[in-house]
Amino acid sequence: MATTTTRVQTYQMFIGGEWVNAISGKAFESLNPYTGQAWALIPDGQAEDVDRAVTAAQKAMKNSDWKNMSPSMRGRLIWRLGDLIAENAETLALVETRDNGKLIREMLGQCKAIPNYYYYYAGLADKIQGETIPLEKTTVLNYTLKEPIGVVGILTPWNSPLLLLSFSLAAALAAGNAVVVKPSENTSASALEFAKLVHQAGFPPGVFNVVTGFGKTAGAAMSSHPNIGKLVVTGGRETAKAVARLASENLTPMLLELGGKSPNIVFDDAVVPNAVNGCIAGIFAASGQTCIAGSRLFLHENIHEEFLQRLVERTKQIKMGDPSSMDSEMGPMATTAQLDKVQGFVDSALSDGAQLIYGGQRPDSPELEGGWFYMPTIFDDVGNDTYLAQEEVFGPVLGIQKFIDEEDLIERANDSLYGLAAGI
């Protein structure tokens, strides 16, 4: 499944059931993190493109083809979309690997799992029911109806674009909404490939739209658009704050899924080899680029030395390489900005007195020099109040703290602004 083509593929946006260029005619390159080379050309959407997409979505909400479609028929359409995703899982996975540099084994696993979200919500589509409410006055009939919000705007990140899109898209479609998606400028291609399947499934024009572009232009325009009924945002805290400020002007409700600083806790009665494998998978499997990455490791003092030795031995064996190869165990950073951010965390940890056990630099292998790789990195004796312990790295950097007292452990593990996942 290794990627061999170097041809630059040109994409168009999907708006109102049609493939269109940005109104400005501008486009930007999407770079392959493994090679550092351009592989796709993406339309550079602006505010006018977002408005065009929102207008198309509003029109779809009024169109009888969608507005009057029975919930059961909506469910059949969504199920058909799930089938098409399953049939095209390998193609979608390869596109995501080219775009974000994550391992094909991870992207393929995600794409094969994605149809299940559509199957679930396909079954839910005709089970969205209101209620009758008894009143003191028996001559009055009081009842509730659940109706679509309208146009739902979805802003997706670059680490698992289609999986995170599906978390909210499947539900939005089942409820009868129309959707405008603005994918990350770093990973726009898979959403456009996905739009082909939505079109093929037979959804009416305008029910699903994709506007590509940069966060400060297209993303800001969608966040501030007065005709967006709800915004769904997956990303970092700073991005969410920026979106919230814009959305507040219209009191647009938001659904947020942000970052994490997840603790992995290993007690002294653990089966050490198994726990080592779990901790490595938790932080290095996706090059640390996941919101539930186990970036904080709390080790019981009694097993600290043995665990650390085994951890380093196994980490040294991690095979970094072409993410489109099933043999690779760790791929590059998705962007050069993320690569620089990871190095900044490493520099900060060193200045704060943490002990660098392994990694802490880019690999010197000639086969990897064109890509945005960073070695799996392990720090010991990390202070709980340091930048590395408190902030999300979103990269392959593990910070270790020892513990012996459970009350102290619980206090330190919970001493974080983030709360998303944990492992014991």
Angle at alpha carbon of residue 340, lines to 335 and 342, rounded to 5°: 95
* Position 133 pLDDT exceeds 80: yes
Residue 2 confidence (pLDDT): 40
- Is 159's pLDDT higher than 60? yes
State residue 419's pLDDT score.
82
Q: Judge whether residue 314 has pLDDT over 60.
A: yes
Q: What is the pLDDT of residue 404?
A: 96
| 88 phi/psi in degrees, rounded to 5 | -110, 20
Residue 320 DSSP class: B
Distance CA 133, CA 26 (A): 55
Please report, as a single letter, which amino acid is at residue 289.
Q
pLDDT confidence of residue 420: 86
DSSP state of 203: P
Distance between CA atoms of residues 91 and 74, nearest Å = 26
Q: What is the pLDDT of residue 241?
A: 95
Looking at 257, 301, 306, 392, which residue is catalytic? 257
In this prediction the pTM is: 0.94
Q: Residue 90 pLDDT > 50, yes or no?
A: yes
- Residues β-bridged to residue 27: 43
Q: How far apart (Å, rounded) are the C-alpha atoms in residues 229 and 382?
A: 44
Catalytic residue, from 111, 291, 391, 392: name it: 291
Residue with the two structure tokens 């493994």: 34
Mean pLDDT of the chain: 96
Mean pLDDT of 270-287: 95
Task: Determine the Cα–Cα distance for residues 380 and 337; give it in Å rounded to an integer.
Answer: 25
The answer to whether 366 and 377 have CB atoms below 8 angstroms apart is no
Of 407, 297, 295, 395, the residue nearest 344 (C-alpha): 395
Residue 279 annotated among the catalytic residues of the structure: no
Q: With 60 as the cut, is the pLDDT of residue 230 above it?
A: yes
Q: Give the pLDDT band (50/70/90) at residue 356.
A: very high
Residue 3 has what pLDDT?
A: 43
Q: Is the pLDDT at 1 greater than 50, yes or no?
A: no
Q: Give every CB contact of residue 4 below 8 A, 6+ residues apart in sequence.
A: none
